[in-house]
């Protein structure tokens, strides 16, 4: 009798921990994998590099997304399959107390509350992310410049907790920070000016722009930003993410349509969602897809009511931070004009990093900034500061001043941060009386071309535009994400690796951000290490024919950007 009861309980537990999840996840996993295969084949059928409307570009627009080799794709899915199976096994063992469970527990008093997290919500974190968690959040203790000091940490429980050993890995080459123009500095003009501003104004503001938090520094900065962008007026905000999420709702609302690129940043997605508009998504940088959505939207009007849309807002980014692609701006502008839509351009990564004058993607294509209705960007990257801006005509900015959530409810920008932007921007514009800014711009462009070219020659699959300083290198398999990050750090190079959910499930990648502060020696050291690790992990997937090694030797660093 007693035995039977135990048996029943064991059976119940087995059912709860094995059968039920297996049924739930098993079906899901199979469906997921199958659907991914369909997408994969579909992608193989389509040609990725479509060239159209070449006439609107004043320079070659070369962007490549080499398709995933089929075998690699299959192996990647198998990798995830094995990881998932082991995940179930480990969860099972944890449930039966065979394995120590490190997950923080709910306090006893609240055990009978509705669980704060569903068990399956964290399956991925617990069983996949946790294994390679040491590749992220690596603490540093220096300027995030071309070289940085990384604090060494160890784990005795497989990445559940970390301990700092106290040792510092000095002068790690930094290929991860968005320091495009090398303005992340602790000495020199910018830092000195920031020190002075901090001495004069203090650090905080303790008020919003509307409530005694509007400093003369902010006004000075806004005038300069407007001049830099070539627009009538501008407004600055304390956080880049919030610039998007707090201002899109003031520009669009119910009855408006937002057309958003499928790879837009989370802040744009959040802003669009908070606005209450209808959101439709077009394929990444695909102008046919955008045009179709525009046509259909105007012809059919709003769903159900069939009223015409109040306005249509297109959201695009300058450089896409995970793909390294550059927006097809001339075509977007042509479409926006044809269909009378408004254009919101997020230049988080492109401002300062593209264009002969560092004025972003508009400058890069030689277009008129007035053709972009809302010019948005951040100061975190190229300017080595923090915050964001919106530029445009005076009516737009006046409206934002009176209606932006940020102006009314959020503390304004810290004065030394504002000063850092002012000084670095003046340097880019050459208003400091030197050519240092121009030199940095040239250096960045030279470094980008060199670095991308060399990686392609080595046989890696590199995504994105040839002129983009964001360089994604494809890793595909989940195990290689962790291995690449660790092997690179062993060679004293700090890189960023990303996988699902930041990328599609099979397209895990490493990402390098080229900086003007990198010297040729640093890039060469990094490239040699990448090549070495690439051989070790068999990452040289590319089947494109690039010039052979011999030819490479003729291709020198300086030749690369003489035009």
Interface of this chain with other proteins, residues 280 to 299, rule: CB under 8 A: 295-296, 298-299
Q: Which of 174, 234, 443, 456 binds other proteins (CB under 8 A)?
A: 174
Residue 435 has which token pair? 């050519």
Please report how close the Cβ of residue 277 comes to other proteins at its closest, in angstroms.
13
Site for other proteins in 411-430 (CB under 8 A): 411, 414-417, 420
Count CA atoms within 13 Å of residue 220 on its CB side.
14
Q: Does 119 bind other proteins (CB under 8 A)?
A: no
Q: Which element (helix H / strand E) includes 454?
A: helix 436-458
The whole-angstrom separation of Cα 353 and Cα 293 is 31
**Segment 478 to 497, residues that bind other proteins, using CB under 8 A:** 494, 496
The torsion defined by the Cα of 321, 324, 83 and 134, in degrees rounded to 10, comes to -60
R_g of the chain, CA atoms, integer Å: 26
262 binds other proteins (CB under 8 A): no
Question: Between residues 492 and 552, which has the closer beta carbon with respect to other proteins?
Answer: 492
Nearest 5°: the CA angle 457, 458, 463 is 75
Give CA–CA dist 94/407, Å, rounded: 49
Quick one: 382 or 456, whose CB is closer to other proteins? Answer: 382
Which is closer to other proteins, CB of 265 or CB of 454?
A: 265
Q: Is 305 in the site for other proteins (CB under 8 A)?
A: no
Which residues pair with residue 278 across a beta bridge?
A: 257
The binder of other proteins chosen from 409, 519, 532, 540 (CB under 8 A): 409
Q: Which residue has the tokens 């297996």?
A: 22
Among 310, 490, 540, 544, binds other proteins (CB under 8 A): 310
| SS3 state at 166 | strand
Determine if 264 is a binding residue for other proteins (CB under 8 A): no
Contacting residue, 76, 132, 173, 213, with other proteins by CB under 8 A: 213
Q: Is 116 in the site for other proteins (CB under 8 A)?
A: yes
In this complex, which beta carbon is closest to other proteins, that of residue 76 or of residue 247?
A: 247
* 215 contributes a contact to other proteins by CB under 8 A: yes
Neighbours of 314 (CB within 10 A): 25
Angle at 106 between CA 105 and CA 112, to 5 degrees: 140
SS3 call for 257: strand
Task: Using the minimum distance from each CB to other proteins, give the nearer residue, 293 or 354.
Answer: 293
Q: Name which of residues 56 to 95 contact other proteins (CB under 8 A).
A: none
If the CB atoms of residues 66 and 373 are measured against other proteins, the closer one turns out to be 373
Which residues, numbered 342-401, are part of the site for other proteins (CB under 8 A)? 342, 373-374, 378-381, 383-386, 395-396, 398-401
Taking the complex as a whole, how short is the minimal distance between the CB of residue 289 and other proteins, in angstroms?
13
72/138 Cα distance (integer angstroms) = 29
- E strand spans, 1-128: 63-64
Our finding on whether 216 is near other proteins (CB under 8 A) is yes
As a whole number of angstroms, the distance between CA 64 and CA 374 comes to 28
Q: Smallest distance, Å, CB 50 to other proteins?
A: 21
Count of residues in contact with other proteins, rule CB under 8 A: 122
Residue 300: CB atoms within 10 Å: 11
* Residue 211 found at the interface with other proteins (CB under 8 A): yes
Shortest CB 361 distance to other proteins, Å? 20
């Amino acid at each position: 009798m007693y035995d039977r009861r135990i048996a029943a309980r064991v059976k119940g537990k087995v059912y709860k921990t094995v059968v039920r999840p297996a049924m739930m996840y098993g079906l899901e996993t199979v469906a997921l994998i199958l659907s991914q295969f369909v997408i994969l084949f579909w992608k193989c059928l389509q040609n990725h590099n479509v060239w159209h409307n070449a006439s609107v570009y004043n320079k070659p627009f070369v962007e490549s997304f080499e398709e995933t080799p089929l075998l690699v794709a299959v192996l990647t899915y198998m990798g995830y399959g094995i990881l998932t199976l082991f995940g179930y096994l480990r969860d099972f063992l944890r449930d039966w107390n065979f394995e120590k469970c490190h997950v923080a527990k709910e306090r006893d008093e609240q055990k009978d509350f509705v669980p704060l997290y569903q068990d399956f919500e964290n399956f991925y974190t617990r069983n996949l992310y946790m294994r390679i968690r040491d590749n992220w959040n690596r603490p540093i203790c220096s300027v995030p410049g071309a070289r940085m000091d990384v604090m060494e940490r160890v784990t005795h429980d497989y990445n559940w907790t970390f301990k700092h050993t106290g040792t510092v890995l000095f002068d790690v080459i930094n290929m991860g920070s968005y320091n495009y123009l090398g303005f992340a500095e602790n000495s020199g003009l910018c830092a000195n000016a920031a020190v002075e501003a901090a001495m004069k104004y203090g650090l905080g503001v303790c008020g919003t722009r509307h409530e005694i938090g509007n400093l003369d520094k902010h006004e000075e900065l806004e005038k300069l930003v407007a001049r830099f962008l070539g627009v009538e007026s501008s407004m600055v905000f304390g956080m880049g993410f919030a610039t998007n999420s707090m201002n899109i709702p003031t520009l669009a609302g119910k009855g408006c349509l937002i057309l958003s690129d499928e790879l837009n940043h989370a802040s744009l997605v959040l802003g669009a969602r908070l606005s209450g508009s209808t959101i439709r998504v077009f394929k990444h940088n695909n102008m046919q897809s955008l045009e179709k959505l525009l046509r259909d939207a105007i012809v059919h009007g709003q769903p159900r009511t069939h009223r015409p849309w109040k306005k249509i807002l297109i959201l695009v980014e300058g450089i896409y931070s995970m793909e390294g692609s550059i927006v097809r701006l001339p075509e977007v502008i042509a479409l926006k004009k044809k269909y009378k839509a408004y254009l919101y351009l997020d230049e988080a990564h492109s401002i300062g990093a593209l264009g002969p004058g560092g004025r972003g993607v508009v400058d890069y294509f030689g277009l008129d900034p007035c053709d972009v209705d809302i010019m948005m960007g951040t100061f975190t990257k190229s300017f080595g500061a923090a915050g964001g801006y919106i530029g445009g005509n005076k009516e737009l900015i006046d409206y934002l001043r009176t209606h932006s959530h940020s102006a009314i409810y959020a503390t304004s920008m810290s004065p030394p941060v504002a000063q850092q932007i002012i000084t670095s921007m003046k340097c880019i514009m050459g208003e400091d009386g030197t050519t240092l800014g121009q030199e940095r711009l040239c250096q960045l462009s030279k470094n980008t071309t060199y670095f991308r070219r060399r990686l392609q020659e080595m046989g890696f699959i590199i995504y994105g535009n040839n002129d983009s300083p964001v360089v994604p290198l494809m890793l595909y398999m989940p195990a290689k994400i962790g291995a690449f990050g660790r092997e690179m750090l062993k060679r004293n190079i700090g890189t960023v690796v990303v996988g699902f959910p930041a990328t599609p499930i099979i397209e895990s990648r490493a990402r390098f951000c080229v900086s003007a502060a990198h010297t040729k020696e640093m890039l060469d050291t990094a490239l040699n290490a990448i090549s070495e690790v690439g051989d070790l992990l068999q990452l040289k997937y590319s089947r494109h024919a690039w010039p052979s090694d011999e030819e490479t030797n003729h291709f020198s660093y300086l030749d690369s950007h003489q035009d």
